Amino acid sequence: MSLPPIVVFDLDGTLAETAPDIMRVLNVILVREGLPALPLDRARELVGAGARALIERGFKVSGQPLDAETLERLFEDFLAIYADDVASHSHLFDGVLGALDALTDEGYALAVCTNKPILHTRLILDHFDIAKRFAAVAGRDSFPWFKPDPRHLTMTIEAAKADASRAVMIGDSRTDIATARAAGIPSICVPFGYTDVPIETLEPNFIIQHFDELPNAVDRALNLVPARP
C-alpha cells in the first residue's frame, strides 16, 4: 500500500491565534519581576521563537538585563503557568476546520510540527478538540532536533506514516520556510501569523489569505515537487 500525501502545520500563528495567552503569561512574568506589562500588539515581534527567546525579548524591550540563571528560572515558571491555561484567550483561525476537513476528504494525512513544547501543543489541540485529526504531532522536544533543522519536519512525516515526496509545510514564519526548504518540501504561508518581516519577503512557495484557499494551494504546491526515483 502506498503512503498518503501529507500536509504538515505549524501551530502558533498558523492554525491558531495563540498570542493572547502567550503574552498574558509573559506579562505575569514581567510584572512579577517588576517590569511593565507589554501590549498584545507587540506579539508579532516577540512571539515565534520559543519561550526562552520570548522572555529575553520581553526583558530587552523593557531595557532590563537578564542573566542565564534567571532566564532558566523564568523559563520554567513560564512553562508551568502556561500549562495551567493554554488557550482561554486563543482561537483557531477562520476556515481552519473546513480546510482540515477538505484535505482529509481528499486523502491527505495531516500532522503538526511546532517548536512549542509537546505538552503545551497537545493541551492546545485538545482544547480545540482537533488532536484526533492529526496522524502525528511533534513539538520542540519530540525529537533530538527542532525547526529549522529539517529532520524535525521529516521525522514528523515519518511518524505520520506519510510520503515525504508528497508533503507540504504550512506556516507563518521564516523558521517554517527555512525548515521546508532544507527538507526539499514546498511551503505555504499565511500572512497573519507571527513574523517580524512581511511574509512575502521570505519567499514561500505560496501565500494564502484565508484557509478556504488552502486545499487548492496544496494541490498546486505538490505540482512543484519533482518526481523521485
Q: Which three cell numbers stand for residue 91?
A: 482561537
63's torsion region: left (phi>0), alpha (psi -120 to 50) or beta?
Answer: left
Q: What is the DSSP string of 151-219?
A: HHHHHHHHHTT--GGGEEEEESSHHHHHHHHHHT--EEE-TTSS-SS-GGGG--SEE-SSGGGHHHHHH
Which pairing describes strands 136-138 and 109-113: parallel, antiparallel, or unpaired? parallel
Measured CA to CA in angstroms, residue 76 lies from 52, 85, 113, 137 at distances of: 9, 15, 22, 22
In a domain, 228, yes or no: no
| CA proximity to 217, closest of 168, 171, 181 | 168
Backbone angles phi, psi at 138, to 5 degrees: -125, 130
The pLDDT of 100-121, averaged and rounded, is 96
pLDDT confidence of residue 229? 39
In a domain, 229, yes or no: no
Q: For the segment 144-159, what is each residue's pLDDT rounded down to a tens digit?
A: 999 999 999 999 999 9
Chain centroid to Cα 212, Å, comes to 19
The pLDDT of 66-88, averaged and rounded, is 95
Domain boundary among the residues 64, 84, 104 is at 84
pLDDT at 224 over 70: no
Confidence of residue 51 (pLDDT cuts 50, 70, 90): confident
Domain boundary among the residues 68, 84, 100 is at 84
How long is the chain? 229
Domain boundary among the residues 39, 62, 84 is at 84
How much of the chain is helix, strand and coil, in % rounded to 5? 50, 10, 40
pLDDT at 47 over 90: no
pLDDT at 227 over 50: no
Give the range of the structural domain holding residue 49, as residue numbers without chain letter.
Answer: 19-84
Q: Which listed residue (10, 12, 172, 176) is catalytic?
A: 10
Residues 144, 194 share a domain: yes
State yes or no: is 10 an active-site residue: yes
Residues 105, 74 share a domain: no
101 Cβ contact list (under 8 Å, min separation 6) = none
Residues 102, 197 share a domain: yes
Q: What three-state secondary structure class fits 128?
A: coil
pTM of the model: 0.93
Residues 112, 66 share a domain: no
In a domain, 206, yes or no: yes
